Every structure is written in structure tokens, then in C-alpha cells.
């Protein structure tokens, strides 16, 4: 960003307190009503309908690798503040980039363009001054649709006779990469002659990056690779796919067509690395691959022998009379509640007799249908955010979108996320209601599906982050296990009780099951290899002190563990049915399928049924998903 020039006296623009001037053309550093630094651009005149539409589309898309639009007023636009120099300033002060720094810049900016183009948008103003070298990686500033393109823009960074569009963006991207590598644009002298003969000045650039840039500077737009194709070529030569595509997997197909053959605007196959890149952005995803440190708890916290397992705590009183019965639409069943219940069912998904998986959400004192086949809706604990996604989006489209509704304001928007062959499952909100956590799986072939990591989505800032927890070695080890072991250990990630990290099931070398605790960036902090398989959605008790697992005994039972030390705290006898989670600190929620009726019950820690929570009509061989939140 340009240097901040203090403002005296200070002034306001809408609800934003202007604190400094960033540029002469009405761009200011400001403080939002919540105290965050943002960038406010004062418009010379109110946005016309065309400009409003362009800004609104950029705002809704929230393309990765860009500084996101946060608000739009009548005469101003607010964007994310990214501290750091522009590429133009960096080159002027320190000289051209080389090696890893140059390649990382190329990947980050190509990721941003590919994300915009996938959303049917183009940038139109790719320039060194639009690239910010932030602390978390390069960012491409969104274009100012209210500013007229100057002759300088036309002559140096794009072909003068070419209209704006994705191909022109790719041309400008290549010119910016050349500038980063050489300190000068590729057509800075006698530009028309150089373009006509394809004689771009690429300076000391060598190898695959030089070849790619030369292709992107082709005179004819149809001869240039798309942004996605360029990104795939960058990934293929960077080594960054070591943790994105397992060893022995199919390599990306050739992306350059035969001479005279029209290029496809999309690659035949978009590998996992590109799909995650378009989602996560280049800042963290393309950092040096992690080498997580696994810290296993001390031997003194290993499983306590069964003979010395302490008895389960005595159950707290629980209301069993005076229940309210709430009927679901479509004759889908009945939910039973009591005013003193610590939790309530906020959303669910049921399988109909026609094999349709239909979602419902709590809306006041009733439940309403919230989507179609395979849609899944979850409400944040504070009730503000409703998120809806389709777990099997591939039946409809190539990209999974997540739709958010701010139930406070009524505003609804959609964020693009993963693409084939990645699928997303098990959405779960953080305890503070700020972040949606989703587990990611990668399907290489019909019999090769394996975990990839998790995705975090912040609807307030419209920021999506992917964290990969499986590298090539992890994938190979996972696929070496028998199919039944793999199917029961597909990683579902859940928040730790404090909301600062995540937890996930994993397969031990002995083909047992354990739990890993990771920080929010996917680094393993602790492993409890003896606890067995977590089940349901609420693995930790409401206090966060207890952990419940299954498969820890030779008989059908669940085991309780001290979540902080890993010591065994008790055994809960279990009948046929599925453990869904915790009702309170001394009661559990269990689901039992009985024909086409799915019964949801509260049991104590001795396995005794206490009361009914719901009777739902769900197909016997179907899927039932329930989401409870504290009141």
C-alpha cells in the first residue's frame, strides 16, 4: 500500500472514520465501526448502474488472492486493508525478484485471476501498482471500475487494440511477471513493433516460467493459455503439488493444443492442487510444505486398565414431563422439547422414501424446509448465520457453492468453494459462530477416496481458507489400509472446545483408531492413539472436559476420556444405535433406526433411556443428519 499521510482534521465517510490518505486520487485509510483498518475510496460521482453491477459482482465473488470488497456506499467503496508495499514500490526500492519469490508472486497472482475468471469476471487493470506484497503473501487489488483507463495503461500493460477480458488479463499478468523479474515492462520500447513480432524483452528469465510468460504474451488472444492453464503449468514446475497430488496419481494432461487447434477455455482435468489453490489463495497454500511436529502425550496418560476405570458421574436431573411436540413439514416427524433443555435441534437432513435427502431448519417455533436433494443447512450457535451447501454438488455443477444468509439483516450471498474431484462434508460452526468448518475429501477414482484436510469459511469477511493435513505419504499410508478401515476413518474435522483448533479421527499403524488435535493451521499438536473412534458430531462434552469414543471395548460400548490428559473416565453401555453427541454433561444423544422411523433419545451415562427427543420419518437405508446447538 502507498504510505499513509495523516489527515488533519479527520473526517468521516459514511460510518468510516478516515485516518490517513493513501493516494492522491481519493483513497484513504479508515477505521470501521468495529475498529478494523480498511481502505475507503471516495468516488468522484455516485456509481452508475453499470459500475454498481460490476462492484456488486466482485463483492459477491470474493475471489481468492484479492483484497476483498467489504462495503459499498453511494459515493464510496470499502475494501480490505493489506499493509505492505506494492510490487511497483518493491522493485523500485530493492530491485527485481528472483527464484522462489518470483515464482510465488506468479502463482499468487495467477490464482487470483483464475478465481475471477471462474466466476465469469475479469480484472482489466492488472498492473504492478495493483499487486500488494502483504505479510501473508501477494494480493491482487480489485479493479477500480469508476476510473477511466489511461493511455499509459493501454500502451504498457496490454495490447492497445484489444478489449478487456480474460485473455487481456493473462497478457497483463505476464507483463507484470516480466516487470517483477526485470524491473521493466516487456514492451517498454517501440511497443507496437515488439508486439507485432512477438519480441517481448524477457531479460534474464529462464526455464518453464519464461516459456509460460512468452505464451501468455502471444499476439492473438486465442493463442494464450487461460489463467487456469497458466496456474496448472506453474504448479507442475514448482514442486508445490507435493502435498496436493499423491505419488503415482495421474499427471495433468497436456495443456497446450496442437498448432492451429482452438484451446479449450477449461482444462480437461483440474487437479486437487488447482482446486485448492482457487479456494485457498496463494498466500498460505503455496508456502513451504509444513513438517508438523507430533507431540504424543506422556506415557503416564495412556489408557487406564479396565479394572481401574472410575464409575460414570451421577446424572443431573432432567425434565421428562411437560414436553412440547413440534411437527415437521412434509409429515417428516416430530421433535419433542422442554423449556429447560440446554440444547435444541436447529437443523436436520432426512432421507425420504424416494431416496431424496431433504434439509430442514428451525425457524422460530417451527421447522421449515431449507433446500432440495442433498442440500445441507446449518445454523450458527448464536442464530445469526445460516449456511447451506450441497454435499454432492457434482450432480449439478463443477463447483460447490456455499450460500450464507445473515438472519439478522436478511442479506444472502454465495461463496464459490471447491471443485471436482474434491468434495466437502460435515459442516460445523465454531463455538463463537464466526467460522464454518468443513471437511474435504479427494476422489482420485471410484475406489480411491481419501481425506485432504479442512476448509474454514468466515462469512463476515467472506474469506475462505483451505488447510491441507494429508501429504503424499499420508495418502499412500491411508490407501494401504483395507477398504473397510478406510471407510470408517474418513476424516471428519470438529472444533476443539475452545474453538482455537480442530480434532480429527485417524488410523494408527496397527489399524486402530485414535484422535489427533491440530491447531487452526493443521499442525498436529497432540495424538491420542488409544481412545478409539469418535462418533457423532459433538465429541466433547459441553464443558470440554470429557471426550466420548466408540470401538474402545470388545463389547458394544462407548468410552469416556479426560480430554486434557487422555485418562479413562468411564464406560457407557450401548445398545444397537448410533451415538450422536452430548445432551448435557451427564446425558448423551443416541439415534436408533426402527424400520422407516428414526428415534432420537436422551440416555444417561449408564446407557439408560431417559426421554425421547424426536421421532423422524427417514428411509431405513437412508441417511439422517442432526445438528444441535446450545440455547
Average pLDDT over residues 434-451: 89
| DSSP characters over 143-170 | P-TTSPPPHHHHHHHS-TT--SSHHHHH
pLDDT tens column, 449-461: 999 999 999 999 8
pLDDT tens column, 283-296: 333 332 223 332 22
Q: Which domains does the chain have, with CATH numbers?
A: 315-356+542-630 (no CATH), 374-536 (2.40.128)
Do you find a cis peptide bond into 172, omega within 30 degrees of 0? no
Residue 137 has a pLDDT of: 79
What pLDDT band is residue 276 in, cutting at 50, 70 and 90?
very low
Question: Do 507 and 478 touch, CB atoms closer than 8 A?
Answer: yes
- Model confidence at 428: pLDDT above 70: yes
Average pLDDT over residues 311-327: 82
Residue 618 Ramachandran class (φ > 0 left, ψ -120 to 50 alpha, else beta):
beta
Higher pLDDT residue, 22 or 190? Answer: 22
Residue 312 has a pLDDT of: 55
Least trusted range by pLDDT, from 203-212, 243-252, 333-342, 618-627: 243-252
Q: Which parts of 153-309 are beta strand (E)?
A: none
The top-scoring range by mean pLDDT among 92-106, 185-199, 280-294 is 92-106
Residue 26 Ramachandran class (φ > 0 left, ψ -120 to 50 alpha, else beta):
left
Residue 251 has a pLDDT of: 32
The top-scoring range by mean pLDDT among 53-57, 202-206, 343-347, 411-415 is 343-347
Least trusted range by pLDDT, from 334-338, 435-439, 568-572: 568-572
Higher pLDDT residue, 334 or 43? Answer: 334
The model carries a pTM of: 0.56
- Model confidence at 197: pLDDT above 60: no
Sign of the alpha-carbon torsion through 580, 584, 588, 589: negative
What pLDDT band is residue 124 in, cutting at 50, 70 and 90?
confident
pLDDT tens column, 66-79: 777 777 777 788 88
First-to-last CA distance in the chain? 44
Residue 26 has a pLDDT of: 76
Rounded to an integer, what distance in angstroms lies between the CA atom of residue 165 and that of residue 363? 44
pLDDT tens column, 474-484: 888 889 888 88
- Model confidence at 266: pLDDT above 60: no
Rounded to an integer, what distance in angstroms lies between the CA atom of residue 357 and that of residue 390? 10
Distance of CA 629 to the CA centre of its chain: 22
- Model confidence at 239: pLDDT above 90: no
Question: Do 627 and 348 touch, CB atoms closer than 8 A?
Answer: yes
Residue 245 has a pLDDT of: 29
Average pLDDT over residues 82-94: 90
What pLDDT band is residue 263 in, cutting at 50, 70 and 90?
very low
Q: How many CB atoms lie within 10 A of CB 298?
A: 9
- Kind of pairing between the strands at 137-141 and 66-67: parallel
Question: Do 129 and 87 touch, CB atoms closer than 8 A?
Answer: yes
Higher pLDDT residue, 156 or 217? Answer: 217
Higher pLDDT residue, 167 or 241? Answer: 167
DSSP, res 251: P
Rounded to an integer, what distance in angstroms lies between the CA atom of residue 98 and that of residue 109? 16
Least trusted range by pLDDT, from 51-55, 341-345, 482-486: 51-55
H-state helical runs in 397-552: 472-479, 483-487
**CA 55-87-131 angle, 5° bins:** 20
Amino acid at each position: 500500500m502507498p504510505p499513509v499521510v495523516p489527515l488533519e482534521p479527520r473526517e468521516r465517510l459514511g460510518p468510516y472514520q478516515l485516518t490517513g490518505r493513501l493516494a492522491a486520487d481519493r483513497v484513504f485509510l479508515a477505521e470501521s465501526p468495529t475498529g478494523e483498518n480498511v481502505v475507503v475510496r471516495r468516488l468522484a460521482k455516485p456509481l452508475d448502474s453499470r459500475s454498481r453491477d460490476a462492484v456488486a459482482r466482485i463483492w459477491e465473488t470474493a475471489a481468492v488472492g484479492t483484497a476483498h470488497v467489504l462495503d459499498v456506499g453511494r459515493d464510496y467503496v470499502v475494501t480490505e486493508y493489506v499493509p505492505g508495499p506494492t510490487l511497483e514500490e518493491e522493485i523500485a526500492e530493492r530491485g527485481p525478484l528472483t527464484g522462489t519469490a518470483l515464482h510465488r508472486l506468479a502463482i499468487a497472482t495467477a490464482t487470483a485471476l483464475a478465481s475471477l475468471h471462474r466466476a465469469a469476471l475479469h480484472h482489466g487493470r492488472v498492473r504492478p501498482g495493483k499487486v500488494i506484497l502483504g505479510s501473508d503473501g501477494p494480493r491482487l487489488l480489485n479493479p477500480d471500475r469508476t476510473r477511466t483507463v489511461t493511455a499509459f495503461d493501454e500502451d504498457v500493460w496490454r495490447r492497445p487494440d484489444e478489449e478487456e477480458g480474460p485473455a487481456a488479463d493473462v497478457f497483463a499478468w505476464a507483463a507484470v511477471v516480466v516487470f517483477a523479474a526485470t524491473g521493466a515492462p516487456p514492451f517498454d520500447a517501440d511497443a507496437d513493433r515488439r508486439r507485432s513480432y512477438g519480441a517481448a524483452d524477457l531479460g534474464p528469465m529462464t526455464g518453464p516460467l519464461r516459456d509460460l510468460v512468452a505464451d501468455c504474451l502471444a499476439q492473438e488472444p486465442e493463442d494464450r493459455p487461460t489463467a487456469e492453464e497458466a496456474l496448472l503449468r506453474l504448479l507442475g514446475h514448482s514442486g508445490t503439488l507435493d502435498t496436493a497430488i499423491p505419488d503415482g496419481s495421474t499427471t495433468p494432461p497436456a495443456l497446450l493444443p496442437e498448432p492451429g487447434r482452438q484451446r479449450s477455455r477449461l482444462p480437461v482435468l483440474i487437479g486437487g492442487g488447482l482446486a485448492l489453490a482457487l479456494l485457498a489463495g496463494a498466500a498460505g497454500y503455496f508456502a513451504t510444505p509444513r513438517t508438523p511436529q507430533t507431540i504424543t502425550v506422556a506415557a503416564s496418560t495412556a489408557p487406564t486398565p479396565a479394572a481401574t476405570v472410575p464409575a460414570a458421574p451421577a446424572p443431573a436431573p432432567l425434565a421428562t414431563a411437560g414436553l412440547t411436540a413440534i411437527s415437521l413439514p412434509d409429515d417428516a416427524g416430530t421433535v419433542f422439547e422442554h423449556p429447560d433443555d440446554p440444547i435444541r435441534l436447529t437443523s436436520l437432513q432426512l432421507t425420504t422414501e424416494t431416496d431424496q435427502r431433504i434439509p430442514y431448519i428451525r425457524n422460530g417455533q417451527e421447522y421449515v424446509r431449507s433446500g432440495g436433494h442433498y442440500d445441507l443447512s446449518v445454523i450458527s450457535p448464536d442464530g445469526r448465520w445460516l449456511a447451506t451447501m450441497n454435499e454432492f454438488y457434482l450432480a449439478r455443477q463443477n463447483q460447490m457453492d456455499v450460500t450464507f444468509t445473515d438472519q439478522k439483516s436478511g442479506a444472502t450471498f454465495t461463496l464459490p468453494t471447491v471443485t471436482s474431484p474434491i468434495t466437502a462434508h460435515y459442516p460445523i460452526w465454531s463455538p463463537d459462530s464466526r467460522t464454518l468448518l468443513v471437511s474435504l475429501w479427494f476422489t482420485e477414482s471410484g475406489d480411491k477416496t481419501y481425506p485432504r484436510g479442512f476448509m474454514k469459511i468466515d462469512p463476515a469477511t467472506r474469506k475462505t481458507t483451505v488447510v491441507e493435513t494429508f501429504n503424499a505419504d499420508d495418502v499412500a499410508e491411508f490407501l494401504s489400509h483395507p477398504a473397510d478401515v478406510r471407510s470408517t476413518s474418513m476424516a471428519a474435522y470438529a472444533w476443539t472446545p475452545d474453538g482455537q483448533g480442530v480434532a480429527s479421527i485417524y488410523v494408527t499403524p496397527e489399524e486402530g483408531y485414535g484422535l489427533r488435535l491440530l491447531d487452526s493451521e493443521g499442525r498436529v499438536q497432540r495424538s491420542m492413539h488409544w481412545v478409539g473412534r469418535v462418533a457423532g458430531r459433538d465429541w466433547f462434552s459441553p464443558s470440554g472436559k470429557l471426550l466420548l469414543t466408540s470401538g474402545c471395548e470388545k463389547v458394544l460400548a462407548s468410552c469416556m476420556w479426560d480430554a486434557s490428559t487422555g485418562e479413562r473416565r468411564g464406560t457407557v453401555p450401548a445398545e444397537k444405535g448410533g451415538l450422536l453427541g452430548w445432551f448435557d454433561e451427564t446425558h448423551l444423544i443416541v439415534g436408533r433406526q426402527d424400520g422407516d422411523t428414526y428415534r432420537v433419545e436422551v440416555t444417561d451415562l449408564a446407557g439408560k433411556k431417559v426421554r425421547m427427543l424426536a421421532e423422524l420419518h427417514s428411509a431405513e437405508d437412508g441417511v439422517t443428519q442432526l445438528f444441535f446447538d446450545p440455547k
